[in-house]
Amino acid sequence: MTDPIFIVGSGRSGTSLLRAILNAHPNIHLGQESALFMWRGRWPGLKAGAFEKAWKNTASGSLFKAEPVQVDPDAPSEHYIRAVLEARSARFSATRWGDKTPLHAMTMDKILACFPNAKFIAMSRHPVTTVASLRRMCWGTGTVLGDSFMVKKAREKIRETPGVLRLKLEELLQDPETQLRRVLEHIGEDWHPNLLEHEKGDYSADPRLPWLTTAENPLTPWREPSVKLEPKEVRMIERINPPELDGYPRWTEPEGVREFGFFAAQLGALLSLGGTTFASGPSIKPNVASPAEQLSFLFTLNGSVPPPEGLLEHLIAELEPT
């Protein structure tokens, strides 16, 4: 079987961990956040050759460092997408190919139009702990409201798309083998013990981003994290993302108080970010900003959480020349 595999979800929901685990299977290798279909949605008319050039001039395309492939430049762009992901899989002697980009949740219909047999696995996590984790990311929106809507949009798309296997991070960590057997049945692969030792895998092709590399650590049982959010922030998260829609208990009991001042302040902070469109993908057009400029923009988006010291400089130095 060569049906492609796509891991989707919201950021900070465990997508990187699931990818690392599945890549420990000898038959599987999934790309790391290529964002190929997010960009394809921005440039629907580009043929394969023009799409390749434009994608490689994005931060995601440059960090991916794609293997050279031969594709008819006048073919549809999905021919290039398939070739790139298959080439990355072949580099690791795997036959199953695909990608992990959380916000590909927003483009699952477009992926299915290109690859009707694609298999989707959607990771989820309690919305409160998801947003709390997003708040600590330099690429987050910097607001509870913005981060909550990022989670909401992804979950709505996942719920409305048929045939998606939904997997909770909490359950994966509590009982890895049972949950992973569900995943393997969904994608049509046999069990392999390497899945429980994914920390021994080869991560040489992956960008060394600290919020991704933690997925390379050994599995440990789920422990409820401490959440440094105010009660009004938790209430806002759960109003926007009712936990029960995804089978989670409420973090707090719903209250009738409406904090309009807090909502207005959050909305103002979100609008100050300008034209960034988190729900539909990158807003930067090809050739308008260099990969280095895109990285500098994305990784300083959350003004209250600077990127780790030296990270931007290191990534920019390592970018694929375009």
pLDDT of residue 37: 97
Instruction: State residue 120's pLDDT score.
Output: 98
- State residue 264's pLDDT score: 60
Residue 311, CA distances (Å) to 2, 33, 181, 293 in order: 36, 18, 37, 14
Which residues of the chain register pLDDT less than 70? 1, 253-288, 320-322
The whole-model pTM stands at: 0.90
Interior CA angle at 295 toward 17 and 20, to 5°? 15
3-class secondary structure per residue, 84-112: HHHHHHHHCCCCECEEECHHHHHHHHHHH
Domains of the chain with bracketed CATH: 5-197+226-318 (3.40.50)
Are 79 and 57 contacting, i.e. CB atoms less than 8 angstroms apart? no
Distance CA 309, CA 67 (A): 30
Q: Which pLDDT does position 276 carry in this prediction?
A: 44
Select from 34, 62, 45 the least CA-distant residue to 290: 62
Backbone angles phi, psi at 240, to 5 degrees: -75, -35
pLDDT of residue 269: 59
Q: What is the pLDDT of residue 9?
A: 97
pLDDT tens, 30-67? 999 999 999 999 999 999 999 999 999 999 999 999 99
Q: Specify the pLDDT at position 142.
A: 87
Identity of residue 280: S
- Confidence (pLDDT) at 282: 42
- Would you call 124 helix, strand, or coil by DSSP? strand
pLDDT at position 265, please?
61
- Tens of pLDDT, residues 239-264: 999 999 999 999 876 555 456 566 56
